[in-house]
């Protein structure tokens, strides 16, 4: 190791979030985070939803420290400790000739790290911040410490931070294989297809509430495992068959099957929550309204145009068959859920705003002029102004990347402290 106490070595990475289309809900091992069933997710485009994490090492650091969204947080929790321990034990020699830094494998046990992370979307609000967060932590530390493990092997480390995080080590469609081993070595993520495989898909997220939720996924699924018989049946009988069908639908870009399976699995996950004692309610009236509008529209078209899925919160993730359908979907969403009069359309529809253009909506006048969709026939259409915080238009996206541009780093290269 170089003698000087001054040097700081850093790595910065950006990692996507993911949304499950076959849900993970229930653990067979709480510490190792081993699930009761396989799950499948789609990775979301990191240009709209992502975590950026900078990790730094210096002989001048006195302890491991972490800042999340600008605030220092404790790393003493078991999940952070598991990830740090697993990564340190696999660290390799690192040499930066330009800076005259040489770290040997054995040095890593003594060296401390600083970690700064930023989520460009709400944390702990059911938008899988823990997934992007732990995947980014593991990926960036693996780069800094020169790990030789492949992404699937890294996913098994990220899994120990948060189960869903293992699926954020890849882009496109990803399967988390539950595995059989007691030590969890075969419980890891694999990529099913790259994001380009099905690039017609467009995803619109309706952020119903950005507030922190009452029941975390971790405690919610623990209660479900303890009390829900439906969960046992789902894990043993339903999910294994659904996984096969979902893989097939994805491989064949069969949107009808994909949508049918995605909606059914989301609904069953929420049914398991209701079957839990005491029952857990993640969806609210707004979520239910969205389901009902999508179901009506899909039925009137004769085949599914849009799939919906909800994680442990009220936010809807809507997956449209293609851009044209996405534009029609956005028109419908804006008709039923127009922004408050003081909300600017530009801050109401975020992400890929070109969908707004495709939908023929340039400003609030166009939103006011929207007509009731033709499938709403037997009830007077009601508008729910202000029920949605905002929409995020996005698409399937790529896996983690290293950011080499130093200006993107969240830690100061001189001090190793947040910028």
Ligand X SMILES: Nc1ncnc2c1ncn2[C@@H]1O[C@H](COP(=O)(O)OP(=O)(O)OP(=O)(O)O)[C@@H](O)[C@H]1O
Size of the site for ligand X (CB under 6 A): 21
Residue 127 is a binding residue for ligand X (CB under 6 A): yes
Which of 45, 86, 195, 311 touches ligand DP6 (CB under 6 A)? 311
Which of 32, 33, 91, 243 touches ligand DP6 (CB under 6 A)? 33
CB 241 within 8 A of CB 36: no
Residue nearest to ligand X as judged by C-beta position: 133
Residue 164 is a binding residue for ligand DP6 (CB under 6 A): yes
Interacting residues of 52 by C-beta distance below 8 A, sequence separation 6+: 12, 13, 14, 117, 118, 120, 136, 403, 408, 410
Residues in region 214-233 near ligand DP6 by CB under 6 A: 217-218
Residue 267 is a binding residue for ligand DP6 (CB under 6 A): no
Strand partners, 29: 34
- Please give the C-alpha separations between residue 52 and each of 20, 83, 167, 194, 416, in angstroms, as whole numbers: 21, 17, 17, 22, 16
Residue nearest to ligand DP6 as judged by C-beta position: 163
CB 262 within 8 A of CB 309: yes
- String marking each residue 29-58 x if it binds ligand X according to CB under 6 A: ----------------------x-------
Residue 128 is a binding residue for ligand X (CB under 6 A): yes
Q: How far is the CB of 24 from ligand DP6 (least distance, A)?
A: 3
Residue 312 is a binding residue for ligand DP6 (CB under 6 A): yes
Query: What does the alpha-carbon distance between residue 106 and residue 252 come to, in Å, rounded to a whole number?
Result: 48
Classify each residue of 158-180 as buried b or exposed e, where b means 16 or more C-beta atoms within 10 Å of its C-beta. Answer: bbbbbbbbbbbbbbbbbbbbbbe
Residue 174 is a binding residue for ligand X (CB under 6 A): no
Q: How far is the CB of 54 from ligand DP6 (least distance, A)?
A: 23
Among residues 36, 20, 26, the alpha carbon closest in space to that of 266 is found at: 20
User: 117 contacts which partner out of ligand X, ligand DP6, none, CB within 5 to 8 A by kind?
Assistant: ligand X
Residue 117 is a binding residue for ligand DP6 (CB under 6 A): no
- Please give the C-alpha separations between residue 144 and each of 17, 97, 322, in angstroms, as whole numbers: 21, 15, 39
Query: What does the alpha-carbon distance between residue 267 and residue 274 come to, in Å, rounded to a whole number?
Result: 11
Burial class (CB in 10 A: 0-12, 13-18, 19+), 13: buried
Which of 134, 198, 336, 391 touches ligand X (CB under 6 A)? 134
Which of 20, 103, 157, 204 touches ligand DP6 (CB under 6 A)? 20
Q: How far is the CB of 164 from ligand DP6 (least distance, A)?
A: 3
List of residues contacting ligand X (CB under 6 A): 51, 68, 117, 119, 123-131, 133-134, 137, 164, 216-217, 311-312
């Amino acid at each position: 190791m170089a003698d000087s106490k001054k040097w700081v070595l850093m790595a910065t990475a950006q990692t996507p979030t993911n949304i499950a289309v076959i849900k993970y809900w229930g653990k067979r091992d709480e510490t190792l985070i081993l699930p009761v069933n396989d799950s499948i997710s789609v990775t979301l485009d990191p240009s709209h939803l992502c975590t950026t994490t900078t990790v730094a090492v210096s002989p001048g650091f006195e302890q491991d420290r972490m800042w999340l969204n600008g605030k220092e947080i404790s790393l003493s929790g078991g999940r952070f400790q598991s990830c740090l321990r697993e990564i340190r034990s696999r660290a390799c020699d690192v040499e930066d000739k330009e800076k005259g830094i040489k770290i040997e494998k054995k040095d890593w046990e003594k060296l401390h790290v600083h970690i700064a992370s930023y989520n460009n979307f709400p944390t702990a609000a059911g938008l899988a911040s823990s997934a992007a967060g732990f995947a980014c932590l593991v990926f960036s530390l693996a780069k800094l410490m020169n790990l030789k493990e492949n992404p699937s092997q890294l996913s098994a480390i990220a899994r120990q931070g948060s189960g869903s995080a293992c699926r954020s080590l890849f882009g496109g469609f990803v399967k988390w294989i539950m595995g059989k081993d007691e030590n969890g070595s075969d419980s890891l993520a694999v990529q099913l297809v790259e994001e380009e495989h099905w690039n017609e898909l467009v995803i619109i997220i309706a952020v119903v509430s950005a507030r922190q939720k009452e029941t975390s996924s971790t405690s919610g699924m623990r209660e479900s495992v303890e009390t829900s018989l439906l969960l046992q049946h789902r894990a043993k009988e339903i999910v294994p068959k659904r996984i096969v069908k979902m893989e097939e639908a994805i491989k064949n870009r069969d949107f009808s099957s994909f949508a049918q399976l995605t909606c059914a699995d989301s609904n069953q996950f929420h049914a398991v929550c209701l079957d839990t004692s005491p029952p857990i309610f993640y969806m609210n009236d707004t979520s239910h309204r969205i389901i009902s509008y999508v179901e009506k529209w899909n039925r009137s078209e004769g085949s599914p145009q849009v799939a919906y899925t909800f994680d442990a919160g009220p936010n809807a993730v809507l997956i449209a068959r293609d851009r044209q359908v996405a534009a029609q979907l956005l028109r419908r969403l804006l008709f039923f859920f127009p922004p408050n009069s003081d909300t600017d359309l530009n801050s109401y529809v975020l992400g890929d705003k070109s969908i707004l253009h495709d939908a023929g909506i340039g400003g609030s006048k166009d939103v006011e002029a929207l007509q009731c969709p033709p499938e709403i026939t037997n009830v007077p259409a009601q508008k729910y102004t202000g029920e949605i915080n905002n929409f995020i238009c996005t698409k399937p996206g790529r896996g983690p990347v290293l950011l080499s541009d130093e200006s993107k780093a969240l830690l100061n290269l001189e001090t190793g402290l947040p910028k």
